[in-house]
Chains A and B, each alone.
Chain A
């Protein structure tokens, strides 16, 4: 089954404790993205990757890191989380930025 998976689905953590949200796709897609969704602000892109070892900043990259060492995986790293990073996070993959984005199930992160 073609899918995008994310883990964990829910996470409550404390300020400053490093965390990683994993994302994996099995569709051989080259393009992968991370978005955060906040009420009234829609889906804002954090980082994206055009292919392995190629990543670039989206609209709200501050406080986040990513890596793309393999085509199927695109982890999101918060090295020192802060309360303003409390949000719903979605990973997505696609053939490219002008094609259908397939979203993962989402990760709800709470930073206290």
Chain B
């Protein structure tokens, strides 16, 4: 069945250091991989996404890498800042039933 595994579940990083969150997916046909950020008490919002025709995408301090062979993708945040503290969710699409399945989330805490 469709499955997205996300690790770690919690991550603490010193301000200014980098953070990496990893996800694996089960269906080799998946071709859309978004990342959402959810601040405390707020709704999830898209921060970056990647499609399978590229291996890496960057947007300022945020980047996502995709390894289709291994069926995993990662979120990289560089030069972390206190406002990066949030829960991050990865997701992957599954064509069999037109679904977007989310990982279980990573609570990222930036230590000042």
Contact = CB atoms under 8 A, between A and B. Distances in A.
Interface of A: 31, 33, 35, 40-45, 48, 50, 56, 58-59, 90, 96-101, 103-106
A48 B49 contact: no
Interface of B: 6, 9, 31-32, 34, 36, 43-46, 49, 89, 93, 97-105
In the complex, the 5 A-B pairs of residues with the closest C-beta atoms, listed nearest first: A42-B104, A103-B43, A98-B32, A43-B102, A100-B46
Chief secondary structure at chain B's binding surface: strand
Contacts of A96: 98
Contacts of B100: 33, 45, 97-98, 101
A97 B99 contact: yes
A50 B100 CA distance: 12
A56 B103 CA distance: 21
Contact of A105 (B43, B101, B103, B105): B43
A42 B43 contact: no
B43 A45 contact: no
B44 A43 contact: yes
Most chain A beta carbons < 10 A, residue from B6, B89, B97: B97
A104 B45 CA distance: 10
B36 to A, nearest CB: 8
Given A50-B98, A56-B97, A98-B31, A106 B89 contact: no
Contacts of B104: 40-42
B98 to A, nearest CB: 5
A107 B93 CA distance: 25
A48 B98 contact: yes
Given A42-B105, A43-B89, A98-B32, A48 B43 contact: no
A24 B99 CA distance: 20
Contacts of B101: 45, 59
